[in-house]
Chain A
């Protein structure tokens, strides 16, 4: 009974909007994965500052310190995941392994991105010797 009356009150504009949004977002989900260039490097930023730029093909575990505590990131078999984080909702850990794209922990201000990161080492270094 109630559902019917609800459906009656929906307008055409509603349906168009909904259809549009579903379409755009679904295609977005598919496309964005394709559009991102082949990613070779893992960059870990804390508070907007790059802290590590590491190759994706070398297994290792690193930890970074953010305002809330230590976040531990693991690179293994060309994939990346966050294994420990001091944040409240642990969304970053729950994302699991990623092969491209990013994992973000907003409370601890940690951003892990997989991309090419070519001349970004200049953002980490304060000076160059040599």
Chain B
């Protein structure tokens, strides 16, 4: 199944990159409000194809998008990488330990939460050594993250359900 995985990874990464690029076209009226649309892809990949695929897609998305925008190894890249990997791992671990406890939406929420926490910690350690600044923006970031995480979760849920239906159709045809 290696080859099939590779196709999926490539396709999903393409989608993730496209979404990321699409999202960055939007002007953000409120600072720190990033929709994180690419996380929909990550979550879908995780649920349907497993953690290996999900992590690979995340890494490819983060690295390639930073290469494209010329911010490779820059601060944005580090934060993106840290947040993305942490959130994917967190979702993956929850999914494997307690698969039924949270729904897709809950997983998305967890992903968003860990994504933000990781970024706050990284920002504190590497860039802004003032704890007051971090403490001040944490609640807002977590709040916004919860909102976007929920919305992304809903979209992911619909997407996954649709894909599963499509899969079933194909399997039925094969039979």
Answer whether A and B are interacting partners: yes
B149-166 interface with A by 8 A CB criterion: 150, 154, 157-158, 161
B130 within 8 A of A: yes
Asked whether A29 lies within 8 Å of B143 as measured between CB atoms, the reply is yes
B123 within 8 A of A: yes
For the complex, give the distance between the alpha carbons of A29 and B133 in Å. 13
Count of chain A residues near B, Cβ 8 A: 37
B100-124 interface with A by 8 A CB criterion: 100-106, 109-110, 113, 123
Stretch at the interface among A54-62, A70-78, A104-112: A104-112
Most A CB within 10 A of own CB, among B74, B133, B157, B161: B133
Q: Residue B143 contacts which of A3, A25, A101 (CB distance < 8 angstroms)?
A: A25
A81-96 interface with B by 8 A CB criterion: 89, 91, 94-95
Asked whether B143 lies within 8 Å of A91 as measured between CB atoms, the reply is no
Which residues of A are found within 8 Å of B93, using beta-carbon distances? none
Asked whether B132 lies within 8 Å of A106 as measured between CB atoms, the reply is no
For the complex, give the distance between the alpha carbons of A111 and B128 in Å. 7
Contact pattern, A 11-31, Cβ under 8 Å of B = 1, otherwise 0: 101100110011011111100
Least Cβ–Cβ distance between B39 and chain A, in angstroms: 16
For the complex, give the distance between the alpha carbons of A26 and B103 in Å. 24
A-B contact list, 29 entries, CB within 8 Å: A6-B154, A6-B157, A9-B157, A13-B102, A14-B102, A17-B102, A17-B109, A18-B106, A18-B146, A21-B109, A21-B113, A22-B146, A24-B142, A25-B142, A25-B143, A28-B138, A28-B143, A32-B136, A89-B28, A101-B132, A102-B128, A102-B130, A102-B133, A102-B137, A106-B79, A106-B123, A106-B128, A107-B75, A111-B133
